[in-house]
Structure 1
Amino acid sequence: MELRHLRYFQAVAEAGSFTLAASRLHIAQPPLSRQIRQLEEELGVQLFERTTRALRLTEAGRFLLEQSRLLTARLEEVLEGTRRLGQTERRWFGIGFVPSTLYGFVPELIRLLRSADERVEVGLMEMNTLPQLEALKAGRIDLGIGRILLDDPAIERRVLMTEPLMAAVPLHHPLAGQASVSVDRLAREPFVLYPARPRPNYADHVLGLFRAAGHAVQVVQEANELQTAIGLVAAGLGVTVVPASVQRLQRQDVAHVRIDADAFVSPVIVSYRKDDASAFLAQALELAGDLATRQGSGSR
């Protein structure tokens, strides 16, 4: 499959006609029809319902149209960013981050880095730790900020701080008014696990802490996003475990309770390529270390 197949497919789907789509694309209709047939053959599904009166998308076609629009929109962003960097001779510095770190020092780090050097454009990508390592090795990002340690010979990792973990419970839950909760008591509650994938991730870290304490939690629901998990807790589906900084969300329908166990902490870890000796990376690491130390001091 080539990019043109998706563009041709989108044109036909949006026009609702091979003839009209061919006119808009400035190509003849027969080659356009062949391209769409090739796409259907490669996918092994029918994308259009062809009748003498109308051309309609199948369920598979509707799905492909929605998803391919997201892909091509992202591609346009990448191309525009490439043009902008090439025209201004600015350097790109990519940061990958797990969402839960945005409630700590990371927003301040991003703000400082974006104004640190006018010759450097700082780009942001939300991604879990495992995809961060692949993105680092591929050069798509230059710095990863995550919460689990993964070994890779090409990647250097540095733990900036450890953050206490807390139980997030529905506001009217019996635990909501408690100053703290034991691991044994917490493990008896139905559990909302996040993120669901890709694994390994923060979810495995939390499950590992429970296992080390001799408990297995009953997972009743999985969520990919932190905000979704918190929303499910507010809806009463169960409890979950979050870094202490997440309290800054200040949701009125969720209470946060300290977990009475010293081991229940989550590290904040920066990852970068071992062979990256750039001055801007060194500056970013120094800033991250300073901000993490400040946050750690302020939380005690």
Structure 2
Amino acid sequence: MVELRLLRYFVALAEELHFGRAAARLSISQPPLSVAIKQLEDTVQAQLFERSSKEVRLTTAGEHLLPKARQVIALTRQAVQETRDVGHGVRGHLRVGFVGSSLYRGVPQALASFQARHPNVRVDMLELNSAEQLQELQQARLDLGLVHSVMLPDGLSSQLLMKEPFMACLPEDHALARHDQIDLADLQGERLILFLSQVSPLYHQRIYQMCQAHGFSPEIRHEVRHWLSVLSLVSLGQGVAIVPAALERVGMPRIAFRPIAGEQTVSELLAVWRRTPDNPLVASLVACLGEAIDQLSTGTDAGDVVTEKI
């Protein structure tokens, strides 16, 4: 294995073709330079310079080594700089998991802000349910997850990004759609469209308990994996749903969203990441998420749903 120091000494002498000037350039004396060149020649088992009292010239072997030595030095410098940048959160690669509803909770705006601040960072997004994201985080296949309310396994940290109310989601020609708000008990006997319990057990349980608190067990007809599937089935008149308020931003036709009277249960969005190793890019993206959600909650248009930033 050739020491990088020896390659640096070789390149300096090859470019100066003078031991005195090369030594001065390297801020060393001539004897250590001569020893280093001899050590390099012994390592590669080839003479690299022809020396005389009048001049120093590269041999054919030396000419062959020079561009390769320059390349090794340049790649090493690049690797060091990139590693330093990664350590300072300037460069790198983030793998981010997300639940579908987060796309209407400031995630696109946060990503745009993050990429503007970190143009040399690659961000890959992967849509997964909350349970899948926790598994991927534990196995180090994700750096950050955006999940609904979950019970965190050991080794993971979280930050609550926002919470918002649930709303009733109805076909626009439904009788209850004429009301400004509805009582959840009015949904008794309606066909409820809900997440699979295997996909989001806490959401499934929370909505089920909301109904039970209002005196009925919901009649669940359709169970799906994605919020857009919930909205699509509602728009097709296949039932009603209880969904996070952010989904009103989807703008799907033939759907009416109505507040639930007196309801205090909320939908939450959390950022989740591994505690070790510490990744400054994760902290930066979480900060961008907080800023984007704050803008949604304080700078909403008249038709937007107001959320609460945590």
TM over 0.5: yes
Q: How many angstroms does 1:96 deviate by?
A: 0.5
Residue 295 of structure 1 corresponds to which residue in structure 2? 296
Alignment of 1:45-64 (within 5 A): none
* SS of equivalent to 2:228: helix
Counterpart contact for 2:156–2:272, Cα < 8 Å: yes
* SS of equivalent to 1:275: coil
Counterpart contact for 1:161–1:296, Cα < 8 Å: no
Counterpart contact for 2:235–2:253, Cα < 8 Å: no
Residue 102 of structure 1 corresponds to which residue in structure 2? 103
* SS of equivalent to 2:125: strand
Counterpart contact for 1:167–1:258, Cα < 8 Å: yes
Counterpart CA distance in 2 for 1:211 and 1:228 is: 24
Q: How many angstroms does 1:195 deviate by?
A: 4.3
Residue 56 of structure 2 corresponds to which residue in structure 1? none
How many residues are aligned here? 213
Residue 33 of structure 2 corresponds to which residue in structure 1? none
Residue 144 of structure 2 corresponds to which residue in structure 1? 143
Counterpart CA distance in 2 for 1:135 and 1:205 is: 24
* SS of equivalent to 2:138: helix
Code of the residue aligned with 1:296 in structure 2: it is: S
* SS of equivalent to 1:188: coil
Residue 254 of structure 1 corresponds to which residue in structure 2? 255
Q: Return 157-166 or 188-197, whichever deviates more.
A: 188-197
Q: How many angstroms does 1:276 deviate by?
A: 3.9
Counterpart CA distance in 1 for 2:155 and 2:271 is: 14
Code of the residue aligned with 1:249 in structure 2: it is: V
Over 3 Å counting, the alpha-carbon distance change for 1:109 and 1:195 in structure 2 is: farther
Counterpart contact for 1:195–1:201, Cα < 8 Å: no
Alignment of 1:48-127 (within 5 A): 91-127=92-128
Q: How many angstroms does 1:233 deviate by?
A: 1.1
Residue 271 of structure 1 corresponds to which residue in structure 2? 272
Code of the residue aligned with 1:193 in structure 2: it is: L
Q: How many angstroms does 1:201 deviate by?
A: 4.8
* SS of equivalent to 2:201: coil
Counterpart contact for 1:183–1:261, Cα < 8 Å: no
Counterpart contact for 1:195–1:225, Cα < 8 Å: no
Code of the residue aligned with 2:258 in structure 1: it is: V
Code of the residue aligned with 2:223 in structure 1: it is: E
Counterpart CA distance in 1 for 2:264 and 2:277 is: 33
Over 3 Å counting, the alpha-carbon distance change for 1:214 and 1:156 in structure 2 is: farther
Q: How many angstroms does 1:100 deviate by?
A: 0.9
| Runs of 4+ residues over 3 Å off in structure 1 | 211-215
**Percent of paired sites with the same residue:** 25
Query: What root-mean-square deviation, in Å, do the aligned CA atoms of Structure 1 and Structure 2 show?
Result: 2.1
TM-score (norm 2): 0.64
- 1:78-124: CA deviation from partner (whole Å, max 9, x where unpaired): xxxxxxxxxx9862201100001111211111222233323321000
Counterpart contact for 2:98–2:145, Cα < 8 Å: yes
Residue 215 of structure 1 corresponds to which residue in structure 2? 216
Residue 7 of structure 2 corresponds to which residue in structure 1? none
Over 3 Å counting, the alpha-carbon distance change for 1:279 and 1:151 in structure 2 is: closer
- 1:16-71: CA deviation from partner (whole Å, max 9, x where unpaired): xxxxxxxxxxxxxxxxxxxxxxxxxxxxxxxxxxxxxxxxxxxxxxxxxxxxxxxx
Residue 225 of structure 1 corresponds to which residue in structure 2? 226
Code of the residue aligned with 1:251 in structure 2: it is: M
Counterpart CA distance in 1 for 2:131 and 2:192 is: 23
Counterpart CA distance in 2 for 1:295 and 1:211 is: 32
Counterpart CA distance in 2 for 1:195 and 1:107 is: 26
Question: Please, which runs of 5 or more residues in structure 2 have no aligned partner?
Answer: 1-81, 84-90, 301-305
- 1:173-203: CA deviation from partner (whole Å, max 9, x where unpaired): 0011111111211243210112454342533
Counterpart contact for 2:180–2:258, Cα < 8 Å: yes
* SS of equivalent to 1:267: strand
Looking at CA atoms only, which structure, 1 or 2, has the larger radius of gyration?
2
* SS of equivalent to 2:232: helix
Counterpart CA distance in 2 for 1:296 and 1:154 is: 31
